[in-house]
Amino acid sequence: MSRHIKGKIISVEKVVPDIYKMTVESPYISQNAKPGQFINIRCSEGLDMILRRPISIAGADKLKNTFDIYYQIRGTGTKCLSRKKAGEEVDIIGPVGNSFDIFNEYTNIAVVGGGIGIFPLYFLLKEKTDGMKTAFLGFRDKEHIVLEDEFNEAADKLILTTDDGSAGRKGLVTQMLEEDLKLNKYDIIYTCGPLPMMKKVVQLADMYNIKCQVSMEQRMGCGIGACLVCACKIKLNNESQDWVYGHLCKDGPVFWSNQVVLEDFEGEN
C-alpha cells in the first residue's frame, strides 16, 4: 500500500549526460518497495508543477532505510529534481503499482532493457537472489551507458549493445536476444524500455513460448486511477480479443505480455 510521505534527500548525482541518481531516506518505502513499483514525486512546491512525476524505484537498502531513483531530464519537472540538494525534503507517494513476479520456480531468467527502462530491471536482479540471470541492455552510445558494473555484478551474464557500436556489440538489443534464444531457453523474460523494443521482445517470447512480463512507461496525471492520462487497453482473457481500458498507475505498471494490448499503446518511445 502506498503512503504520502516526506523523504529526506541523501544525495543527488549526475551519472551520465541528462541522467541523475537520487537517494532518498524513507523507512516505509525502503522496507516495502518491490521491483517494478514506482514513486510519484512532486518536483516543486509551486503551482506551475502541481502534477507529480512517476519514477521507477531502482533499488532499496533496508539497512539504511533508503531507496534510489534514476531520472532523465525531459522537461521542467525533472530539471527541477536535478537541482535538489542533500538534506532537502521531497514530497512522495509510494511505493505505487504492482511488481514483477520473481518466484523461485523461475530458475533461468532474462531481463531486456533499453535506456531508462533498465532501472526497474536492476532492482529485480538485486532482489532475485537465486537462479541463472542474464541481462540484455541496449544504449544509444558509450556515453549514455549507466550501471554497467552493477549489472555485471547482479547478473550471471551481461550482453550490452550500443546503436553506434561505440561499446559492447553494435546493433539493437533485441537482435542479440533473438540470436541468444536460438541456443538458450528461459523460464521468463522481463522487459522495460522503448515501446518498439518491448513489442519485439514480446514477439520473440511468443515465438519461443516463454512467459514474459512488460513494465510500461507513460506520463501520468493523478497517479491513483482517477484520470485517463495513463489509460491502456487490457485484454479480458487470453482466449478473447475483447478488452477494457485500464490504468498503468492502478493496474500496472507491470503486465503479462498476453494481458496488455501493446499495438495500440502510445507510451514513452
- Confidence grade of residue 233 (pLDDT, cut at 50, 70, 90): confident
pLDDT at 150 over 70: yes
Q: Where is average pLDDT lowest: 39-43, 180-184, 243-247? A: 243-247
CA separation for the pair 128, 121 (Å, rounded): 10
pLDDT of residue 45: 78
Q: List pLDDT tens digits, range 175-197.
A: 999 999 999 999 999 999 999 99
Q: Can you tell me the mean pLDDT for 228-247?
A: 76
Q: Which helix (H) or strand (E) covers residue 213, if one does?
A: strand 211-215
- Between 103 and 33, the higher pLDDT residue: 33
What would be the CATH architecture of the domain defined by 3-96? Beta Barrel (2.40)
The structure's pTM equals 0.93
Q: Can you tell me the mean pLDDT for 10-20?
A: 97
Q: Can you tell me the mean pLDDT for 146-169?
A: 97
The single-letter code of the amino acid at 182 is K
Among 3.30.300.180, 3.40.50.300, 3.40.50.80, 1.10.620.20, what is the CATH number of 98-215?
A: 3.40.50.80
pLDDT at 269 over 50: no
Cα atoms in the Cβ-side hemisphere of radius 13 Å centred on 229: 17
Domains 3-96 and 98-215 share a fold: no
- Between 225 and 195, the higher pLDDT residue: 195
pLDDT of residue 39: 97
Q: Can you tell me the mean pLDDT for 63-68?
A: 99
Distances (CA, A) of 240 to 179, 209, 261: 31, 19, 12
CA separation for the pair 15, 72 (Å, rounded): 10
CA separation for the pair 214, 201 (Å, rounded): 9
What is the domain partition of the chain in residue ranges? 3-96, 98-215
pLDDT at 201 over 90: yes
pLDDT at 103 over 60: yes
CA separation for the pair 70, 193 (Å, rounded): 14
pLDDT at 204 over 60: yes
C-alpha cell at 12: 543527488
Residue 91 phi/psi, 5-degree rounding, is -90, 115
pLDDT of residue 227: 72
Question: Closest Cα partner for 158 from 166, 143, 167, 148?
Answer: 148
C-alpha cell at 202: 514480446
Strands 188-192 and 169-170: unpaired
Question: Closest Cα partner for 225 from 42, 40, 67?
Answer: 40
Q: Where are the alpha helices (DSSP H) in 22-117?
A: 27-32, 76-82
Scored b (16 or more CB within 10 A) or e, 138-171 reads: bbeeeebbbbbeebeebbeebbbbbeeeebbeee
Average pLDDT, the chain: 92
- Between 56 and 220, the higher pLDDT residue: 56
